[in-house]
Amino acid sequence: LYSFLQEYTRYVAIYLDIGGWQPHSVESIYANKYGDCKDLTTLMITMLRQTGIESYPALLLTRDRGTVITEFPSNQFNHMIAFVPLADDSLWLECTADYLAAGELPYTAEGCDVVVIRNLGGEIVRTPQSAARENLSQSNVYGKLDMYGTLEFTALFKAYGNQGNFYRSKFN
* % of residues, the chain, pLDDT over 90: 59
> Which range among 14-28, 92-106, 156-170 shows the weakest confidence by mean pLDDT?
14-28
pTM greater than 0.85 (yes/no): no
pLDDT band at 17 (very low <50, low <70, confident <90, very high): low
- Among candidate residues 95, 106, 116, the one with its CA nearest the CA of residue 36: 95
- Judging by beta carbons within 10 Å of its beta carbon (0-12, 13-18, 19+), is residue 144 exposed, middle or buried? exposed
Please state, as a whole number, how many other Cβ atoms lie within 10 Å of the Cβ of residue 23.
21
52-79 per-position pLDDT tens digit: 999 999 999 998 888 888 888 778 898 9
